[in-house]
Structure formats: C-alpha cells, structure tokens
Amino acid sequence: MQTWNIGEVKITKVVEMEQMWPGSAVIPDANSAALLEHDWILGPFADRENGRIRLSFHAFCIEIGDEKIVVDTCAGNDKTRPNFAALGNLDTDFMHKMTEAGFGPDDVTAVICTHLHVDHVGWNTQLRNGVWQPTFPKARYLFGETEWAHWRVEPQIYGDVVGDSIQPCIDAGLAELVQSDMQLNDAIWLEPTPGHTPGHHSVCISSGGQDAIITGDLCHHPIQFEFPHWSSEPDVDKPAAISMRRRFAERYCDDHTLILGTHFGGPSCGYLRSVGNSWWLDSTGFADINDNFSNG
C-alpha cells in the first residue's frame, strides 16, 4: 500500500478500485483526442496510448498520535445505485485492506467526508442483518453543515445515498455537522473548496515543517490544473468550480505542499508547478502503485 509521511503524520492510501475511464465520462472536454495532445503533461495519470484517464477510488487514512482518521469512504459494498452501474452492488475487499492498514472498524476515531457524493460516503455504512449500520462504530463522522443542508433536500439520482450511507450515522448519534474550516487537531484542518458541491472542503495536513493537502473532488484529474475550465460533469456550480481550481493552483504552485488527489490514479500525488499561464502536477519520484488496478 502507498504511504506518505508528513512530519509526524502517516498517510496510507487504501484503494477500492482503479480503472482506465474515457476521460469524457467524467470531464466532457477530456476526450481522447484532446488528451493525447497533452501527452507529456499526463504523466502516469492516463493511458497515453489511447487517451483514457486513470481514475481511482480510494480513502486516505491518516494516523497521528492516537487518532486514526479516514478521509472519504469510497462507494461501499452492496449499495443499489441506479444510473451509476460502476458503483452499484459492489463486492470488494476494501475493508479487508483497511484492516490490514490498521483502519479496521474499531480502530477509526474519525471519518471526514470532503463532500456527500455517492463515491465519498459509501463505506460510512455496511449492511449487517439487512440493516445499514455505521462501519466505524467508535468514530465521529464529520459532515459539512453546508453540504448536508444541500443534499438532505436535493433529489437523489444515484439511489438512496442519504438513507443508506448518511442517515444511519446520524441515527446512531455518531455524526457531527462541522464548518468547512474546522480544525481537528494541531496537524489537521479543513479548508473550504466549494464549487464541485456547495459545502465541499479539502483536508490540510501540516507537521514538522511539511505540508500536504487532500483535494477531494475540486478536480478529478491533474489535467484540470492545466485546463481549470474543463469542468467535471458532476460539478454542481461549474463557474465556481473553475474559479476554485484556479485559486487552488495559484496558491499551491511552486510550493512544498504535496497535493494528494482523491481520484488521481497511479501515484495519486505530486507538486503543482507553473507552466506558462497554467499548471501541471509533477509526480516525478513517486511510486506508481497498482493495487486493484484494472486496465479494462
């Protein structure tokens, strides 16, 4: 499993699934011809033969002191997901790998959802005896207050995501509604990055003079740093998401902050570098980890 050390903080990536996707399935402008024009910038984040993007669904698991924090819980097993076949009725070994990584059900002290989309809340719950129950019974589940206010009334097009993955945590008394700039401890805090969804936040990690930030879905693929105006199909407010990507890239480019991409495949990370009037993600020197990767 891929790990990073940021000062005293250890981060482990646990992959639910990773596949090559047609870029335009997620980012309409990212068709294969458009992608192949940018061969050098794609690095390990795409199939540079036929112009598909490498998309990963993974959790970033953070250890600091006695705290074990899971950032985003992927799609989950056994969930009915009409209109999103790739995420429906999954039967993966994700929790086995989580346990191997030291993040078994009773180990986790907090769950952070960068936002409440279907592929970020799935393992919040597991089906036990026909009932959706919190996967991590000892954890605080931190949901953005603005985010929850939006999704609790929004029509659900991918099945009963609220009912099977969020409400059971609230009913169990484990959920806390938090502000998008919440400070969890000395090393970890949330940073508001709205646009993709109204209450979207990223997760900042700082320890021992080292820094990292977990993007969430402010961008789905590093190509969107070169082309911030290439919207992701599920961006709720596309102009706001475009401007958010630009501000994010301006702030973190040519800096020591490690960018950890929530859907970036392969090495899933890099440093933002400016190139002309735009940016690219330099992943030189980071391993290309392939667990659960399928090229299908």
Q: Is the CB of residue 21 less than 8 Å from the CB of residue 52?
A: yes
User: Is the distance from CB of 174 to CB of 139 less than 8 angstroms?
Assistant: yes
Q: Could you tell me the smallest distance in angstroms from the CB atom of residue 232 to Zn ion?
A: 9
> What single DSSP character describes residue 165?
I
Q: In whole angstroms, how close is the CB of 197 to Zn ion at the nearest point? A: 10
Closest CA to 227 of 34, 46, 45, 43: 34
Among residues 119 and 226, whose Cβ is nearest to Zn ion?
119
Token code pair at residue 163:
């009912």
Of 38-46, 92-100, 113-121, 155-163, the window that binds Zn ion (rule: CB under 5 A) is 113-121
Work out whether 235 is an interface residue with Zn ion (CB under 5 A).
no
Nearer to Zn ion, 111 or 253 (CB): 111
**Coil, strand or helix at 17:** strand
Q: By C-beta, is 22 or 104 nearer to Zn ion?
A: 22
Q: How far apart are CA 5 and CA 211, in angstroms?
A: 10
Residue 224: CB minimum distance to Zn ion, A: 13
Taking the complex as a whole, the smallest distance from the CB of residue 281 to Zn ion amounts, in Å, to 17
Query: Among 119, 147, 164, 235, which residue interacts with Zn ion (rule: CB under 5 A)?
Result: 119
Out of 16, 18, 217, 226, the only residue in the binding site for Zn ion (CB under 5 A) is: 217
User: Which of residues 47 and 119 has its CB atom nearest to Zn ion in the complex?
Assistant: 119
Q: Which is nearer to Zn ion, 17 or 253 (CB)?
A: 17
- Closer residue to Zn ion in complex, CB, 104/192: 192
Residue 263 Cβ vs Zn ion, minimum distance, rounded to whole Å: 6
Number of alpha carbons in the 13 Å side-chain half-sphere of residue 29 = 13
Q: How far is the CB of 254 from Zn ion (least distance, A)?
A: 27
Secondary structure (DSSP) of 75-104: S-SS---TT-GGGTT----HHHHHHHTT--
Structural contact between residues 185 and 67, judged by C-beta atoms closer than 8 angstroms: yes
For 34, list phi and psi in degrees, rounded to 5: -65, -40
β-strand 52-64 against 2-6: which pairing, if any? unpaired
Residue span binding Zn ion (CB under 5 A) among the ranges 3-11, 19-27, 114-122, 149-157:
114-122
Task: Identify which of 145, 237, 208, 138 has the alpha carbon closest to the alpha carbon of residue 182.
Answer: 145
Q: CA 278, CA 253: separation in Å to the nearest integer?
A: 10
Nearer to Zn ion, 119 or 235 (CB): 119
Nearer of residues 119 and 164 to Zn ion, judged by Cβ: 119
CB of 37 to Zn ion, least distance (A): 26
Give the range of 14-22, 94-102, 111-119, 206-214 binding Zn ion by CB under 5 A.
111-119
Tokens coding 32: 């294969």
Q: CA-to-CA distance for 23 and 30, rounded, in angstroms?
A: 5
Q: Tell me the site size for Zn ion, rule CB under 5 A.
A: 2
Shortest separation between residue 177's beta carbon and Zn ion, angstroms:
21
Binding site for Zn ion (CB under 5 A): 119, 217
